[in-house]
Structure 1
Amino acid sequence: MNVKLGSTFFLKVVTLLIGIAVLAVCIFLLPEAARRDSIVRPGDYSIYPLLICAYGVCITFSVALYQAFKLLSYIDKNNAFSELSLKSLKVIKKCSFTIIFLILLVIVYLRVYAMFTSDDAAGPIALGLMGIFATAIIAAIVDVLQKALKNILEK
């Protein structure tokens, strides 16, 4: 196995492991959090908007992971500079903006909820802002790659 195939194989394995972790969060962690919250606060449905956004982020992140896996497959097949790669990068960029939007919705919800309940939402809001920052960096990198690929394909 040459170096290029070895590195793309490693990245594919990492992508699959991250996908399995996201699936585990969706199947085990989020429903368990909803169950525990319903036991502690029966009749309070304030966690449902957070769960909807969390599932939205997980689904969108899974789509982006799938597109990254496809992009690595294109690199393996020497189709890195093709329209298919450009399309995958576009989908990844749209997914990153969707994730940013969903995190912003959670931050706004937490802020409004904290005003009505006198809770302190500074910690979750700070984590959300860090998530937005990390996702924005990924979106910027994908945008630079997309522009470079578009320039190469136009020539």
Structure 2
Amino acid sequence: MNVKQGSTTFLKVIIFLAGIGVLALCIWLPVIAVRDARVHPDTAYFLIPFLVCAYGFCIAFSVALYQAFKLLTYIEKNNAFSELSLKSLRVIKNCAFTVIFLFLLGIVSLMVLAKTTGDDAAGPISLSLMGILVTSIVAAFISVLQIPIKNSLNV
């Protein structure tokens, strides 16, 4: 096993473990949401927007993980500079923008919830803004990676 094969295998294992974590989150998410709705029945109407954002995030993140797995497979087969890898990068970037949109939707929902209940939502909103920052960095990095691939395909 050469160094490139070992590195891509390690990254594939990490992607697989992240996928298992997302699957576990999807399984336990309704249980957590129903438990919170029972504890706070006055904000139970917030359950639907929360689940829509959470499952949308999980779906977009899972698609991005799958495309990253495919991209690593292309790298292993020495097809890193191909139309297929460019397509995978494009899908990952679109998933990043979807996640950013869902974070913004969640921030708006938190602000509405904070206005109706009188609670302070500064903590969750700041965490959401940090998530937007990280996702924006990933999207920018993907855009930078797309440039040499496009240039090599046009030559």
TM-score relative to the length of structure 2: 0.96
Gaps of 5+ in 1: none
5 Å matches for 1:28-107?
28=28, 30-42=29-41, 44-107=44-107
Aligned Cα root-mean-square deviation (Å): 1.0
Sequence identity (%): 66
* CA deviation map 1:109-138 (0-9, x unaligned): 111221121110000000000000000000
Amino acid at match of 1:4: K
Name the residue aligned to 2:24.
Answer: 24
Q: CA deviation at 1:48?
A: 1.7
Cα separation, 2, equivalents of 1:31 and 1:72: 33
The amino acid that maps onto 2:22 is: V
Partner Cα distance (2:106, 2:137) in 1? 20
C-alpha distance in 1 between matches for 2:40 and 2:63: 34
Matching residue's letter, 1:36: R
User: Relative to structure 2, which stretch is displaced further, 133-142 or 36-45?
Assistant: 36-45
TM-score, normalised by the number of residues in structure 1: 0.96
State the SS of the aligned residue for 2:46: coil
How much has 1:41 moved relative to structure 2?
3.1
User: For residues 144 and 9 of structure 1, what CA distance do their matches in structure 2 show?
Assistant: 24
Q: Aligned residues, how many?
A: 154
Q: Distance in 2 between matches of 1:124 and 1:117?
A: 15
Match of 1:123 in 2: 123
Name structure 2 gaps, 5 residues minimum.
none
What stretches of structure 1 move > 3 A for 4+ residues in a row? none
